[in-house]
Structure 1
Amino acid sequence: MKRFAVVTLFPDAIDCWLQASVVGRARGRAFDVLYVNPRDFAKDRYRSVDDYMFGGGSGMLMRYDVLKPALDHAKTLVQSPLVLALSAGGKVLNQEMCTILSSYEGDIVLLCGHYEGMDDRIFDHVDLEVSVGDYVLSGGELGAAVIMETVIRLLPGFVEKSDNVRKESFTNNLLEEPQFTRPREYEGKEVPEVLLSGHHQRIELWKKEQRIKRTLVQRPDLLTSAKLEPMDLQILRRVLTDMEKVKRAIFGEQSN
């Protein structure tokens, strides 16, 4: 069972998420989470964890002399810890990274900053800085929850039907195909006939084509690193040819 030790000033911000849905049901079975609050390591009567920046600047930084002992303590709670710090300048989280993290044999420590950030000296004790996207959050707690869920979903025992997880979006760098449920028709919109045919080979071929087509239209950047099988490449060529025909029909032969 993989364990996460989260260094955070606001454990409740993460724990409320842990109580929800399949994630909550998997806790204690596929994973567990422990918390270390840096405020418990503050040395003054006010339990201060932040201070003004040397050299000037707006906002407050979390103090190194509070973060370091908190991080050291978190590392003692787990086995062979891999320390990740939530950081805007970190490597952007993607499915490949999640897969690597889920296969790591040890446990994971997540370091969450807050306020204007953390004293830079703490990063000397971090294995990897991770960003969950090119935007700004008030703290690292939401990012830590994102990392945990994306990793947890790949752990053995998280769901009974693990094949469902392997087919989700970004697995193999392809988006999922369109999916449908009852009713078969509503307000003139119908479920594609092929999905009602019962012909499993045709259905799987349709799904492959839709995954490639949707990725090509919505996230073409993913295709450059997708691991496409020979059949996938054939489908991609056909889709590109069809798109070029449509383009020429609309804009004429000289379109670019």
Structure 2
Amino acid sequence: MKFVVLTIFPELMDAFWANGIMRRAIQSGAIDTTAINIRDYAEGRHRVTDDRPYGGGCGMVMKPEPLAAATKAARQMAPRAPTLLLSPQGQRFDQRLAGQLAQLPGMILVCGRYEGVDERFTEQFVDMEISIGDFVMTGGEVGAMAVMDAVTRLIPGVLGNEDSAEQDSFGDDRLDTAHYTRPPAFEGDEVPEVLLSGHHDRIARWRCADALLRTFARRPDLLRKGRLSDEEMALLSAWHREIESIIREQIGRGPDPPSGGG
């Protein structure tokens, strides 16, 4: 996987690539990374990459010429890679999109700044706009890092354990289960007994139930769009019966008596 990042702050990428999973992925040859300084393709003594917007308004807009020249240079390095612009107006980035991008030979990530980039550059050079959420940041660099991190860990061999990425949150439209490590007791809070049992089937069932409960409580939308397994259907049906039983018992008790006054 070839990553080429277009930015006016290439030093940010150098620090990102020098640590953790990204560093190991580079060392193993799973990914190859390059940061292109957009200023290197700007004209004039001051290498200006932005200008005032036509029609007035606050802020500055990134000029199309240096962006276009930098993109052309990036395409020489990664000729089969699509050009992706980090933008709040783009397609929402999620685990499914990360999986699709992980199948590509590479990607060119354009990090916008200021009020945005000249629309003519977007129309002529950008294959896809990507947003990491419904909020605005000062630039696309953090978004580019998020995309690269999420995509890199899906490349076979990067995590070491091939099951790790599949079991993560959103891997199957479910949030991840709770995780515990040593010590077995922490400030009076103990690890669930089943996780200490060594009984792999019981542990698997507990993790399935815990992940399902977390998803239902925190992101029920994921359950609506995904497909439930037979085990999950059985769990939800059992919970449904239990909830109905509790409701019937509460209804049978009648309303609470009024509190007395003094």
Query: What is the alpha-carbon distance in structure 2 between the residues aligned to residue 253 and residue 40 of structure 1?
Result: 76
Task: Please tell me the residue identity of whatever aligns with 1:22.
Answer: I
Please name the residue that 1:115 is paired with: 114
Q: Residue 171 of structure 1 aligns to a residue in which SS?
A: coil
RMSD of aligned Cα (Å): 1.8
Q: Residue 145 of structure 1 aligns to a residue in which SS?
A: helix
Please name the residue that 1:151 is paired with: 151
Please name the residue that 1:53 is paired with: 53
Q: Residue 182 of structure 2 aligns to a residue in which SS?
A: coil
| Residue correspondences, number | 252
Which protein shows a greater Rg? 2
CA deviation digits over 1:92-134, x for unaligned, max 9? 1000000000012x21010110111100111112111000011
For structure 2, the residue ranges without an aligned partner over 5 or more in a row are 255-262
Query: What is the alpha-carbon distance in structure 1 between the residues aligned to residue 247 and residue 84 of structure 2?
Result: 46
CA contact (8 A) 1:14 1:142 kept: no
Q: How many Å apart are 1:252 and its aligned residue?
A: 7.6
Provide TM-score, normalisation by structure 1: 0.93
* More moved, 71-80 vs 137-146: 71-80
Please name the residue that 2:88 is paired with: 88
Task: Please tell me the residue identity of whatever aligns with 1:4.
Answer: F
Task: Please tell me the residue identity of whatever aligns with 1:20.
Answer: N
Aligned pairs for 1:234-245 within 5 A? 234-245=234-245
Aligned pairs for 1:1-40 within 5 A? 2-28=1-27, 29-40=29-40
CA contact (8 A) 2:166 2:172 kept: no
Q: How many Å apart are 1:11 and its aligned residue?
A: 1.2
**1:231 and 1:62, CA in 2 relative to 1: closer, same or farther beyond 3 A?**
same
Q: Residue 87 of structure 2 aligns to a residue in which SS?
A: strand
Q: How many Å apart are 1:185 and its aligned residue?
A: 1.6
Task: Please tell me the residue identity of whatever aligns with 1:154.
Answer: L
Please name the residue that 2:258 is paired with: none
Q: Residue 102 of structure 2 aligns to a residue in which SS?
A: helix
Task: Please tell me the residue identity of whatever aligns with 1:85.
Answer: L
Please name the residue that 1:75 is paired with: 75
Query: What is the alpha-carbon distance in structure 1 between the residues aligned to residue 252 and residue 87 of structure 2?
Result: 48
Identity %: 37
Query: What is the alpha-carbon distance in structure 1 between the residues aligned to residue 121 and residue 253 of structure 2?
Result: 59
Please name the residue that 2:260 is paired with: none
Q: Residue 173 of structure 1 aligns to a residue in which SS?
A: coil
Provide TM-score, normalisation by structure 2: 0.90
**1:191 and 1:50, CA in 2 relative to 1: closer, same or farther beyond 3 A?**
same
Query: What is the alpha-carbon distance in structure 1 between the residues aligned to residue 25 and residue 243 of structure 2?
Result: 44
Q: Residue 129 of structure 1 aligns to a residue in which SS?
A: strand
Query: What is the alpha-carbon distance in structure 1 between the residues aligned to residue 250 and residue 38 of structure 2?
Result: 61
Query: What is the alpha-carbon distance in structure 2 between the residues aligned to residue 248 and residue 22 of structure 1?
Result: 52
For structure 1, the residue ranges without an aligned partner over 5 or more in a row are none
Q: Residue 24 of structure 2 aligns to a residue in which SS?
A: helix
CA contact (8 A) 1:213 1:239 kept: no
